[in-house]
Structure 1
Amino acid sequence: MRMSSLVLFCLIGAAFPINGKRLEICPQHPYYFRDGGRHVVLVGVSDRALFTIWKNDKGFSWRKYLDDLAVHHLNYVRQDVFSWGALRGAAEYPAQLSSSARLFARTGPGKAIDGKPKFDLTQFDQSYFEQRLKPFLREAAKRGIYVELTLFEGFRARSDFKESLYAEANNVNRLGLRPGEVTSDTALGNRRLTAIQHAYIDKVLAETAQFRNVIYEIANESGGRRWVAHLIDYIHNHPTHPSRLVSAGEQTTSFDPRTGANDIVVKHRGKGGLYATDTDVRNHHAALLRFRVGKPVCHNEYFLYANASTDDVNFPRKMMWADFTAGGHSNFFDFTFWRGTGRTLNDGQPSRSPPSEILRGGQYLLDFLTENEVKFWTMAPHDELATVEGKRKPYVFTLAAPGKEYICYVLGDGSATITLQLTGGPAGRRPADFTARWYDPKSGRFLTPAHRIQGKDRNFFQSPNSKQDIVLYVRD
């Protein structure tokens, strides 16, 4: 018997208050999460610098940020716990960063490079936790949103390190650090630094332990192999607030998240290339597949404009579906719209919601799962089951529970013909009857009525004429 859409809406957890036991990796289906009785696939849009921006003179509000996500049923954000660097940012971009704050106390003596008292990295500013971190996590949970908290940045570049809290000119702790050392393996030999990093983790864990919607990421694109492994172990075995929702972050060092003790695998580029074309989408889909080793895989950062990326606002939707059909989770990084910038850091734009093509791209994916009672947690990537032909060389990605349910995401313009194998169910099972429909991920509606077919080795499906992408949905 099929469950009602309302019941399955609760199972998926999109834009639904988080009242379960606590987010965890599903033991039976370890590529997905579970919260009480709800299975969860994460799809989101976020600005990593939320806690620094908070509420700015360009019209940004952290509550509006959460409301934008909730009204579009999105359930995943990635946030830096705070900014370890960019101390001159508030002076350079005063409207964008008009309410910036840090979680360490500014005690002095002496002035940091921004002209304010130096930081003491052994003392915390409790107001940061009470007025920013905890209210955000609480309100996110009310809106059904899970929050990935990034703990550290590496500051490999000399100019970035100079503006960081680690630099000798900005703190009173005499750590004697150089660029590239703060998250390297050499950091483990600096006892004062290690004590500060441990105390910081202790504090974050203590302040966030009450919340059921938190994932921890060690570092953004940095971290020595031993340093990352040490901090994963530190959180796993924490005496008072351990967690088994820890990712290493995207790694640029020899730490391998596929074989490490991290619970979640994070992918950024992951040798998938740029974020510009449909070919790049295909390459990132293939890259995510290579990271599947029995752990959830989160593609938690891709973007527009920067680093030779596209300016096509349809690109994030394509990436979301490509990640989903690779059995992964997806999060678009917006550093343009909410905070009130443009294609450069400060071109005079006001704060505004990301374009509907981005927000609705994630919404319609999650709504598709809810409204069609898709048991995604029982499905796996099966690109080998489908091929596609069309005048403009389309691509097809397939997530399936063979013999039961198939989602074929077709990337490309025009009409396409999919050849799909539907006889891969349990051994000895007779060919089953299926229904097939075409779904438009841009409008969130089906384009054709369901029609019955009998499963066989080669089933042919002709799509309606479409632009950019279309989805074939087949189920028994």
Structure 2
Amino acid sequence: MRNGPLAVSTRNPRYFTPTSGPDAGRAVYLTGSHIWNNLHDGMGPGPDGPDEPERLDFPAYLRFLTERGHNFIRLWRWEHVRSQAAGGNYHLNMSPQPWARTGPGTAKDGKLRFDLERLDDGYFQRLRERVTAAAEVGIYVGVMLFDGWALHLSPPPDHIEGHPFHAGNNINGVAASSINDLQVLPLDPRVRSLQEAYVHKVVDTLHDLPNVLWEVSNESCGGGTVTDEVAAFLGMDTAPSWGDSTGWQYWVIDTVKQHEAARGYDAHPIGMTMQFPVPEQTKVNDPLLGSQAEWISPGYDDEIFAGGGHPMAGGAPPSRWYTDPPVADGAKVVLSDTDHYAPGHGDALWAWKSFLRGHHPVLMDYGLIAGLEPGDEPAADTGVPPFAHYEPARWAMGDTLRYAQRMELIDAAPRRDIASTGYALANPGSEYLVLEPDGDGWAFTVDLHAGSYQVEWFDVTTRETTPGDGLRVESARTVEFASPFPPGPAVVYLRRA
């Protein structure tokens, strides 16, 4: 990458901008697919897994991303050497881990126990190699420091017994018995010290790479509980009591920022993602907005969940973040990840709607569980859609990035009011990018400033582009448009001539 690390733009805080280099000052829009094993080995069908953990072909993964025009991944941190996915028939027995496996004795996965006082250089070498390889093909990486989901929402007993900090898995006498011992303050001083040493090592390993963003943790607990029905789905007899990780996540954010400053490193943006479960679902995003994180990935905050409603309950409707996203107000950069409000879902309209509301669409890509190549069937009995199911969303994310890079995005803002469809990114008088999502063939309108405009049409489904007739607007007025394509969603791009 030719540019320096990212910072939130002061001109348009919905986007990042490089702090140095030829693109300094230009808006950076992020979008891409991710899956759990893009750092660790050991994901595949069945609850147990082979002796030799399955390995993702990372160069092939990067080719998959670049072919579809993506420029961002979440690089997953999976803390368990033995775990499974609730509701799906596949294992996540992930290695390597950040600590050396020295023994004596064996851990839950049958391999040597960990020495938590000794960091494993091989892990950090792999981490640097993968972030560097991504930089070489123009991909930004959200480096996940911790994971909360598997500690409380994967099936017992491995949700804790499969973790290196469980008593049976290390030689140091560290004996975590729940997520509360690892991600809820106050922490045992020894656990806190071990976590701090690990975070410092990650920052030291990657601090000079310009394509790095930090992420605190994936879906850690938020002080709520689940219903007995959901607990049964997770394989638990009763709903357990989980604490609130907010204070711990704020501590991690402070630890990263303080270490970067103390070492004189360039600062990299850090993000905080949806917590689950929380006491009031409609307020799930408040701790994210109240944090010192530069970017966030929000989750279900729909009014349908007021009064105790639960997004994991059967029959829950799609979230507004998927069907009709709110307009980004610039309070935080929003990486809108289906992982947190529509797991298992993703289509072309979701990508376009998110982009035109000022967000950065990111796909939790279950289609990659079966591999990186097209296939008619998913991996045996995994309970997830096949590879091809997500292709429209993947290609659409790349299409939105192409338009983002063509526009003067730094000067554009999402506008509900400027087009009758409600979906527009506009710098009035200069550029307008408008989505007609319904594809019903009816005309729609756009409020335009006076001027001459070049017109381009894009078919969201077929990905066909065609020029329109030049448009001259003598004075500000509402102009009617009709897609030249067969019925289906379309985008019109107007640029001042």
TM range (shorter): 0.7 to 0.9
Report the equivalent of 1:14: none
- Mapped pair 1:260 → 2:291: yes
- Mapped pair 1:457 → 2:457: no
Where in structure 2 are the equivalents of 1:154-233 lying within 5 Å?
A: 154=148, 155-157=151-153, 158-159=156-157, 160-186=159-185, 188-222=186-220, 224-233=245-254
Where in structure 2 are the equivalents of 1:123-162 lying within 5 Å?
A: 123-130=118-125, 132-154=126-148, 155-157=151-153, 158-159=156-157, 160-162=159-161
Instruction: State the distance in 1 between where 2:409 and 2:438 align.
Output: 24
Instruction: State the distance in 1 between where 2:469 and 2:402 align.
Output: 18
CA RMSD of superposed structures (Å): 3.5
SS of alignment partner, residue 329 of structure 2: coil
Instruction: State the distance in 2 between where 1:294 and 1:420 align.
Output: 27
Instruction: State the distance in 1 between where 2:182 and 2:489 align.
Output: 41
Report the equivalent of 1:375: 408
Instruction: State the distance in 2 between where 1:170 and 1:54 align.
Output: 18
- Mapped pair 1:284 → 2:304: no
Report the equivalent of 1:21: 4
- Give yes or no for contact 2:448–2:478 (8 Å, CA) kept in 1: yes
- Mapped pair 1:237 → 2:258: yes
Residue identity matched to 1:43: T
Instruction: State the distance in 2 between where 1:456 and 1:237 align.
Output: 51
Deviation (angstroms), 1:245: 0.6
Instruction: State the distance in 1 between where 2:91 and 2:275 align.
Output: 29
Deviation (angstroms), 1:63: 0.5
Residue identity matched to 1:473: Y
Deviation (angstroms), 1:272: 9.1
Report the equivalent of 2:351: 320
Instruction: State the distance in 2 between where 1:303 and 1:335 align.
Output: 13
- Give yes or no for contact 1:301–1:333 (8 Å, CA) kept in 2: yes
SS of alignment partner, residue 172 of structure 2: coil
Equivalent residues, number: 429
TM-score (norm 1): 0.79
SS of alignment partner, residue 332 of structure 2: coil
Deviation (angstroms), 1:161: 1.9
- Identity fraction in percent: 22
Report the equivalent of 2:49: none
SS of alignment partner, residue 205 of structure 1: helix
Instruction: State the distance in 1 between where 2:54 and 2:22 align.
Output: 41
Residue identity matched to 2:121: Q
SS of alignment partner, residue 472 of structure 2: strand
2:103 to 88, 108, 119: 108
Residue identity matched to 1:378: D
Residues 327/397 of structure 1: CA separation in 2 closer, same or farther (3 Å cut): same
Residue identity matched to 1:41: Y
CA displacement 1:115-145 (0-9 Å, x = unmatched)? 1111122211111222x21111111111000
Instruction: State the distance in 1 between where 2:131 and 2:303 align.
Output: 32
Deviation (angstroms), 1:326: 1.1
- Give yes or no for contact 1:415–1:463 (8 Å, CA) kept in 2: yes
Report the equivalent of 2:396: 361
Residue identity matched to 2:403: F
Residue identity matched to 1:452: L
Instruction: State the distance in 2 between where 1:72 and 1:301 align.
Output: 18
Instruction: State the distance in 1 between where 2:73 and 2:83 align.
Output: 26
Residue identity matched to 1:198: E
Deviation (angstroms), 1:468: 4.3
Instruction: State the distance in 2 between where 1:55 and 1:286 align.
Output: 33
Instruction: State the distance in 1 between where 2:182 and 2:288 align.
Output: 16
- Mapped pair 1:333 → 2:364: yes
Instruction: State the distance in 2 between where 1:451 and 1:59 align.
Output: 52
Deviation (angstroms), 1:249: 1.8
- Give yes or no for contact 2:146–2:218 (8 Å, CA) kept in 1: yes
Structure 2 unmatched runs, 5+:
45-52, 222-244, 279-283, 305-310
Deviation (angstroms), 1:165: 2.0
Deviation (angstroms), 1:345: 7.2
Instruction: State the distance in 1 between where 2:431 and 2:131 align.
Output: 35
Instruction: State the distance in 2 between where 1:268 and 1:403 align.
Output: 35
Residue identity matched to 1:284: Y
Deviation (angstroms), 1:344: 6.4
Residue identity matched to 2:429: G
CA displacement 1:202-251 (0-9 Å, x = unmatched)? 11101111211010000111152211111111111112246341112223
- Give yes or no for contact 2:428–2:448 (8 Å, CA) kept in 1: yes
Deviation (angstroms), 1:334: 1.5
Residue identity matched to 1:433: S
Report the equivalent of 2:455: 436
Deviation (angstroms), 1:325: 0.7
Instruction: State the distance in 1 between where 2:268 and 2:400 align.
Output: 27
Report the equivalent of 1:247: 271
CA displacement 1:73-95 (0-9 Å, x = unmatched)? 21000012x321251569xx999
- Give yes or no for contact 1:281–1:318 (8 Å, CA) kept in 2: no
CA displacement 1:16-43 (0-9 Å, x = unmatched)? xx12122222232222122233231001
Instruction: State the distance in 2 between where 1:413 and 1:282 align.
Output: 20
TM-score (norm 2): 0.76
Report the equivalent of 1:120: 115
Instruction: State the distance in 1 between where 2:161 and 2:72 align.
Output: 32
Instruction: State the distance in 2 between where 1:113 and 1:292 align.
Output: 47
Report the equivalent of 1:426: none
Deviation (angstroms), 1:377: 1.8
CA displacement 1:57-78 (0-9 Å, x = unmatched)? 9884110000111233210000
- Give yes or no for contact 2:13–2:332 (8 Å, CA) kept in 1: yes
Report the equivalent of 1:420: 446
Deviation (angstroms), 1:280: 4.3
Deviation (angstroms), 1:378: 1.0
2:336 to 299, 310, 313: 299
Instruction: State the distance in 2 between where 1:54 and 1:470 align.
Output: 41
Residues 99/112 of structure 1: CA separation in 2 closer, same or farther (3 Å cut): closer
Residue identity matched to 1:79: L
Deviation (angstroms), 1:339: 4.8
Moved more, 240-249 or 376-385: 240-249
- Give yes or no for contact 2:369–2:379 (8 Å, CA) kept in 1: no
Instruction: State the distance in 1 between where 2:409 and 2:201 align.
Output: 36
CA displacement 1:330-352 (0-9 Å, x = unmatched)? 21111332653965675599x97
Instruction: State the distance in 2 between where 1:87 and 1:452 align.
Output: 61
Structure 1 unmatched runs, 5+:
1-17, 389-395, 424-430
